[in-house]
Amino acid sequence: MEIDYKHIKVIGFDADDTLWVNETYFRDAEIAFAKLLSPYETMNKIDQELFKMEMKNLSLYGYGVKGFVLSMVEMALELSNYSVSNKTIDAILNIGKDMINKPVELLEGVEEVLSNLSKNYRLIVATKGDLLDQERKLEKSGLLDYFHHIEVLSDKKEENYSKLLNHLDIKPSEFLMVGNSLKSDILPLINIKAHAIHIPFHTTWAHEQVSEDEKNGKAYKTISSLLELNELL
């Protein structure tokens, strides 16, 4: 299916795993956590139970490293029947601090593409996560000057995007979203009559996965690299 982008005036970019590496650090943290708790359960079971805890806490803590750390602490207490040592709790907190202090590793072609597109389009960031952490990563990235607006959303559902576009006075037909998550960056935009381009990242959080039925009949394009945007737009 050919998709016409000639009416696009504003392009939105997801941040984590679209502009820079993020999910890889969460996977590494999960492995480190499972090793810490290995005296109490198998690594696979710990991983499963941690995910359930994250889902239970999502409405309380939202997305991001801080909520993830709180879920790890709560999971450690439960799995150990509240016998986990202070030393282990301290190690869990250090896993989170290490994640926050990771360098911002830009994905291939990011600066080249933003520099090129900013000449003809208004660019914005529409991401979710912890506000302070995302602001910190944007500052470290060196990309701030390319964007007209930064929005850290509590969630990325149709109503969140509609509210953002209304606030910025952007027509859905003139908006293109670029991101790695079908659930958060692509399908909600298609459902509100905007455009979206999917750039898969090699690792996807289970919470962001969608079924084949959810994807069927949705008009969006998938590309393998951000650099391909220069050819499409």
Q: What percent of the chain stands above pLDDT 70?
A: 92
pLDDT at 55 over 70: yes
| Mean of pLDDT values over 47-76 | 93
pLDDT category at 27 given cuts 50, 70, 90 is very high
Q: Where are the domains of the chain?
A: 10-20+104-232, 23-100
Q: Give the pTM.
A: 0.88
Return the SS3 of 172.
helix
Domain 23-100, CATH homologous superfamily name and number: Putative phosphatase; domain 2 (1.10.150.240)
Residue pair 149/121 in contact by the 8 Å Cβ criterion = no
| Mean of pLDDT values over 47-71 | 93
Determine which of 117-121, 131-135, 208-212 has the lowest per-residue pLDDT on average. Answer: 208-212
**CATH class of the region 10-20+104-232:** alpha beta
Q: At what angle do helices 65-79 and 43-61 cross, to 10 degrees?
A: 130
Phi, psi of 91 (to 5 degrees): -65, -35
Q: Which residue has the higher pLDDT, 206 or 150?
A: 150
Of 11, 7, 1, the closest CA to residue 196 belongs to: 11
